[in-house]
Structure 1
Amino acid sequence: MNRALKRAAEVKLYQPARKKMNLRSLEEALVHGAKYFMAPKRGGEVRGTPTAWAAPPLNEEIASSDALPPVWPNPIGEARGLSVEPLHPSAPKVALRDPNFYAVLALVDALRMGDNRERILAQKELHRLFAPSED
């Protein structure tokens, strides 16, 4: 088991015997702790991949403004915006391959740096995504 999963198991976010994340606990940790324990490092204007409210799914609910959007630095990114260090260096690359994971990472970024409205929308969307499936 890698170091991240071991640490997640220690704090009851991961169940090693079942090989499952405790999604409700993870949701609670992200909603209440992301802005404190995963505070974003911001930078200047760069080319990159949109995140937070500038990325799906929140970009469908929040009208864009004239302000530069938050982006993960990425030389092949489709947007110019203000740099935000991703949670992990590989996040922009993974986001291009996995739209669902991209959505979760962008929602976590909205929790990390959004205003109250953006945080509430991100929280609702994460709750929906983390809800147990009916099947």
Structure 2
Amino acid sequence: MRKHNGMRPHDVVILLAIITKKKDPWLVKDLAAELCISQSEVSESLNRSHFGGLFIPQLRSVNRLTFFEFLKAGLPCVFPTKPGMMVNGIVTAHSHPVMKKRIVSSELYVWPELGGKDRGFAIDPFYEKQVLAAKKDDELYKLLAMVDALRVGRTRERTIAAEILNESILTAG
């Protein structure tokens, strides 16, 4: 195994993508294609996640409780972000439709995307092609938006996002 140099942002996306598979079998090549990441990068990511206790290779599954706790407590510290300038893009964090049902805000947060239909403050995605991956999978998109709410949200937004992630990560599956 290669030397472990810590997590990379797209490791979070890969683990979330595995969670969306529920109990369906998956292959590294399929994850790579769905996420627009190379197969070698997916493999290296799974090795890093295994080293960190977030992935169980023998079961080909995410250590859900550890991952959930990392998302709630560690993610905002390890992969912090702040809203940037106004851009067109795809809504995220509290601006995602699932959160809009519970949070009223005139302020939109978006992942930058050329030709995006929404205009809001830019939130850096975890990796360059994240928007493409999110457009392919509504469940992954929802989970990524909730993770962004943990990264940039206020207390109420983080609490609601954690409830939604708890349901998706710990309860379902």
TM-score past 0.5 threshold: yes
Alignment of 1:12-31 (within 5 A): 12-31=53-72
Which amino acid is the alignment partner of residue 66 of structure 2?
S
Asked if residue 79 in structure 1 is aligned to residue 118 in structure 2, the reply is yes
Asked if residue 94 in structure 1 is aligned to residue 97 in structure 2, the reply is no
Asked if residue 114 in structure 1 is aligned to residue 141 in structure 2, the reply is no
Alpha carbons of 1:41 and 1:64: their partners in 2 closer, same or farther (altered >3 Å)? closer
Which amino acid is the alignment partner of residue 110 of structure 1?
A
Which stretch has the larger CA shift, 19-28 or 54-63? Answer: 54-63
TM-score (norm. length: structure 1): 0.91
In the alignment, structure 1 segments of 5+ residues that lack a partner are none
Greater strand fraction, Structure 1 or Structure 2:
1
In the alignment, structure 2 segments of 5+ residues that lack a partner are 1-41
**Deviation for aligned residue 1:133:** 3.9
Secondary structure of the residue aligned to 1:57 is helix
Match of 2:86 in 1: 45
Greater helix fraction, Structure 1 or Structure 2:
2
Secondary structure of the residue aligned to 2:84 is strand
Q: How many aligned residue pairs are there?
A: 132
Q: Give % identity.
A: 31
Which amino acid is the alignment partner of residue 82 of structure 1?
F
* Runs of 4+ with >3 A deviation: none
Secondary structure of the residue aligned to 1:42 is coil
